[in-house]
Amino acid sequence: MDETTDNTTKNNSPPTDSSTDEDPAEDQNRSNSTRNKGVVSDSRNKKTDREGNNQTVEIDAAETGRDRSSPRFDFDNVLNEGENENKGLFDDLLAGEPIFENKEVLRPSYTPHELPHRTDQINQMATILVSALRGETPSNILIYGKTGTGKTASAKFVSQELESTSQKYDVPCEVQYINCEVTDTQYRVLAQLANKFIEKNKNAIDNRLSELKSLIEQVTETDIDVETSLSETQFTTVSGIESRIEELESDTAEMEPVPMTGWPTDRVYTTFFEAVDYSERVVVIMLDEIDKLVEKSGDDTLYNLSRMNSELKNSRISIMGISNDLKFTDFLDPRVKSSLGEEEIVFPPYDATQLRDILQHRADVAFKNDALTSDVIPLCAAFAAQEHGDARRALDLLRTAGELAERGQADTVTEAHVRQAQDKIELDRVVEVVRTLPTQSKIVLFSIILLEKNGVHNVNTGEVFNIYKRICNELEADVLTQRRVTDLISELDMLGIVNAVVVSKGRYGRTKEISLSVPIDETEAVLLSDSRLGDIETVQPFVQARFDN
Ligand SMILES: Nc1ncnc2c1ncn2[C@@H]1O[C@H](COP(=O)(O)OP(=O)(O)OP(=O)(O)O)[C@@H](O)[C@H]1O
């Protein structure tokens, strides 16, 4: 048992068998009462949370029959009273053996130190970027691969290594990471880069200023003549140092950060250009999700960045673009395309065996010993391999399975937890997709749900359209044409929410048979949580529409 559990057991007695059989509502009351008692004992809480807690004090004191005027509440007594009475909200949850040793390791934000099955790609990147450590410009790199294939993790790993080696050998080389899903316009990309370099320049200037100021102090305080004491520096006189200080102070005063909006783009570009060229360095600009930038604001940013080297005097820049859309370069200007794709590295999807290795490495750190039954990792790997070999999905599954086991106070994570986790993740995805659908699609989906709920399966477009019209009238929403509704059904099909198959009806032509591919009750609940659709209360009459028309 680890230290945390030990302490918990010492301070709060573990639940006895009898306590676990008790009425949960009663337990809750008791835990509330314990919490309220805690409030009574802590005078600081009374000050910060006065109104509500004073109320609590009165009830509590009356219930317990204790003297309210007593200067200190006997808190220890509360803890040591009957063990069942004092079970707080978290006691039960803490009582079980923890399953995780370090759950953070399974989160997407964690950058692993080891990336199994990516050695080739990492070495390829390193071979290209090593030029930066020699003061030369590395070729631009484009990294492709489906989601969750380790592109970002590998690129970040290589960047960290590059920066730490550059510090070791004192070579000025930096990597700037930009997530283009968030920073998706030329203005924002350039502004973010400009501000980063302005900040770096200002820091470097501050350091240099303090060096120069202490140099002046040393020179003026010593008896040795100025020339000798400055012999190892670039200066010969104190006034020389002073004018350098003035120069640096005026440089830093001129470095004005770019506001988030409002400047003309060419001014932002010039500010970035001057900031990056202020000192000698090689800069690798890592543009993650580069396709999103091109999709949102064209290829101007890439064009401007890729032609900068011909004008920069002191610095050099190189671009590393990361994309999971293999086709995005089709939309680029040919010059940008050839400059950006000087080197291309492909990240293939992981297979189940590779995913197993990746999961095992993480699980060794994330979970306590023997917390996983032997089939957990292979099953997570198999599920994720089915979904285009996505390591993110595999890690999510493993973490969610662990959390479900922890919530159920199980001692080990089992295959059943993985299956539950798979369902939960799938449901979360559906909920998210349905929640963010446009209102018209929601109405179409709601029509399909209504038909299914009333026992009408494999509905056709006409039937959906009839119900749809009725709901629109009820909601006072615009009614789209049947053709548009058919398009919306196709979109729902592409999102995996419904399954629409075209069937031939002989001489009556062809029609679509539509069925729901997601859990009906949960989907309905998400739809009804939309304030517009929530108004529909009398659902039953609508189904008649199928037969009315
Ligand atoms: N070889 C690996 N070893 C360990 N962890 C990995 C490996 N490959 C990917 N991962 C992990 O999988 C998750 C997804 O990886 P990453 O973000 O690098 O994928 P990506 O290819 O950039 O995906 P996207 O295109 O969706 O951004 C991260 O948590 C990462 O740490």
What CATH number does residue 524 fall under?
Answer: 1.10.10.10
**Order of strands across the sheet that contains 459-460:** 459-460, 510-516, 498-504
Task: Give the pLDDT band (50/70/90) at residue 84.
Answer: low
**Order of strands across the sheet that contains 281-288:** 173-179, 281-288, 315-323, 141-145, 343-347
- Residue 151 Cβ < 6 Å to ligand 1: yes
Q: How far is CA 453 from the centre of its chain?
A: 36
Q: Which of 318, 347, 376 is the last residue of a domain?
A: 347
362 assigned to a ligand binding site: yes
| CA-closest candidate to residue 140, choices 295, 333, 285 | 285
Per-residue pLDDT reduced to its tens digit, 274-311? 999 999 999 999 999 999 999 888 889 999 999 899 99
Identify whether residues 422 and 449 lie together within a single domain: no
CA 151 to centroid of ligand 1, rounded, Å: 6
Give the C-alpha separation, 243 to 253, whole Å. 15
Question: For residue 343, which phi and psi values (nearest 5 degrees)?
Answer: -130, 135
- Cα Dmax for the chain: 111
Per-residue pLDDT reduced to its tens digit, 200-212? 999 999 999 999 9
Q: Give, for ligand 1, the residue of 159, 289, 392 to mutate: max count of ligand atoms closer than 8 Å to Cβ.
A: 392
Which spans in 42-149 are helix H? 43-48, 50-64, 75-80, 91-95, 119-133
Identify whether residues 272 and 341 lie together within a single domain: yes
Instruction: Tell me what the mean pLDDT of segment 429-450 comes to.
Output: 92
Identify whether residues 474 and 414 lie together within a single domain: no
Higher-scoring residue by pLDDT: 458, 64: 458
151 assigned to a ligand binding site: yes
**pLDDT for residue 533 is more than 60:** yes
| CA-closest candidate to residue 294, choices 325, 264, 268, 266 | 325
pLDDT value of residue 394: 94
Q: Whose CA is nearest to atom 2 of ligand 1?
A: 115
- Residue 388 Cβ < 6 Å to ligand 1: no
In the chain, % of residues over pLDDT 70: 80
Give the C-alpha separation, 50 to 103, whole Å. 37
Give, as one character, the DSSP assignment of residue 367.
B
- Residue 152 Cβ < 6 Å to ligand 1: yes
- Residue 118 Cβ < 6 Å to ligand 1: yes
Give the C-alpha separation, 405 to 323, whole Å. 35
- Residue 391 Cβ < 6 Å to ligand 1: yes
152 assigned to a ligand binding site: yes
508 belongs to a structural domain: yes
Q: Whose CA is nearest to atom 26 of ligand 1?
A: 147
What is the SS3 assignment for 45?
Answer: helix
Contacts of 425 (CB under 8 A, 6+ apart): 393, 396, 397, 400
Atom of ligand 1 minimally distant from the CA of 108: 29
Identify whether residues 157 and 262 lie together within a single domain: yes
Higher-scoring residue by pLDDT: 303, 57: 303
Give, as one character, the DSSP assignment of residue 455.
T
CA 190 to centroid of ligand 1, rounded, Å: 27
pLDDT value of residue 66: 37
Q: Whose CA is nearest to atom 13 of ligand 1?
A: 392
Q: What is the mean pLDDT of the chain?
A: 81
Higher-scoring residue by pLDDT: 159, 58: 159
- Residue 105 Cβ < 6 Å to ligand 1: no
Identify whether residues 441 and 428 lie together within a single domain: no
CA 411 to centroid of ligand 1, rounded, Å: 29
**pLDDT for residue 254 is more than 70:** yes
Identify whether residues 323 and 361 lie together within a single domain: no
Instruction: Tell me what the mean pLDDT of segment 17-46 comes to.
Output: 37
Atom of ligand 1 minimally distant from the CA of 150: 18
**pLDDT for residue 54 is more than 90:** no
Identify whether residues 312 and 255 lie together within a single domain: yes
Higher-scoring residue by pLDDT: 223, 418: 418
CA 392 to centroid of ligand 1, rounded, Å: 6
Atom of ligand 1 minimally distant from the CA of 323: 25
**pLDDT for residue 88 is more than 80:** no
Give the C-alpha separation, 424 to 145, whole Å. 26
Q: Whose CA is nearest to atom 8 of ligand 1?
A: 150
Higher-scoring residue by pLDDT: 62, 174: 174
Query: Rg of the chain's alpha carbons, rounded to an integer?
Result: 33
Per-residue pLDDT reduced to its tens digit, 2-16? 333 333 333 333 333
pLDDT value of residue 26: 40
Give the C-alpha separation, 6 to 14, whole Å. 10
101 belongs to a structural domain: no
484 assigned to a ligand binding site: no
**pLDDT for residue 507 is more than 80:** no
**pLDDT for residue 107 is more than 80:** yes
397 belongs to a structural domain: yes
Q: Which of 347, 374, 404 is the last residue of a domain?
A: 347
103 belongs to a structural domain: no
Identify whether residues 442 and 402 lie together within a single domain: no
Question: What's the number of domains the chain is made of?
Answer: 4
CA 150 to centroid of ligand 1, rounded, Å: 3
Give the C-alpha separation, 530 to 520, whole Å. 16
Q: For residue 153, what are the β-bridge partners? A: none
466 belongs to a structural domain: yes
Per-residue pLDDT reduced to its tens digit, 510-520? 778 899 988 88
Instruction: Tell me what the mean pLDDT of segment 68-74 comes to.
Output: 41
CA 390 to centroid of ligand 1, rounded, Å: 8
Identify whether residues 459 and 514 lie together within a single domain: yes
241 belongs to a structural domain: yes
Atom of ligand 1 minimally distant from the CA of 155: 18
The CATH code of the domain that includes 397 is 1.10.8.60
Question: 443: burial class by Cβ within 10 Å (0-12, 13-18, 19+)?
Answer: buried
pLDDT value of residue 30: 39
pLDDT value of residue 388: 80
Token pair, residue 381, equals: 């790997």
Hey, what amino acid is at 5?
Answer: T
CA 369 to centroid of ligand 1, rounded, Å: 25
Atom of ligand 1 minimally distant from the CA of 109: 29
pLDDT value of residue 69: 39
Identify whether residues 52 and 175 lie together within a single domain: no
Give the C-alpha separation, 18 to 22, whole Å. 7
- Residue 321 Cβ < 6 Å to ligand 1: no
pTM of the model: 0.70
Domain of 392?
A: 351-432
Its ipTM equals 0.98
Atom of ligand 1 minimally distant from the CA of 145: 21
pLDDT value of residue 87: 64
Q: Whose CA is nearest to atom 25 of ligand 1?
A: 147
Higher-scoring residue by pLDDT: 87, 496: 496
Ranking 39-43, 125-129, 351-355, 461-465 by mean pLDDT, the lowest is 39-43
**pLDDT for residue 261 is more than 50:** yes
100 belongs to a structural domain: no
The CATH code of the domain that includes 190 is 3.40.50.300
85 belongs to a structural domain: yes
Q: Give, for ligand 1, the residue of 111, 149, 350, 377 to mutate: max count of ligand atoms closer than 8 Å to Cβ.
A: 149
Identify whether residues 340 and 241 lie together within a single domain: yes
C-beta of residue 526 within 8 angstroms of C-beta of residue 428: no
Q: Which of 347, 364, 394 is the last residue of a domain?
A: 347
Identify whether residues 426 and 321 lie together within a single domain: no
pLDDT value of residue 85: 56
Per-residue pLDDT reduced to its tens digit, 175-185? 999 999 999 89
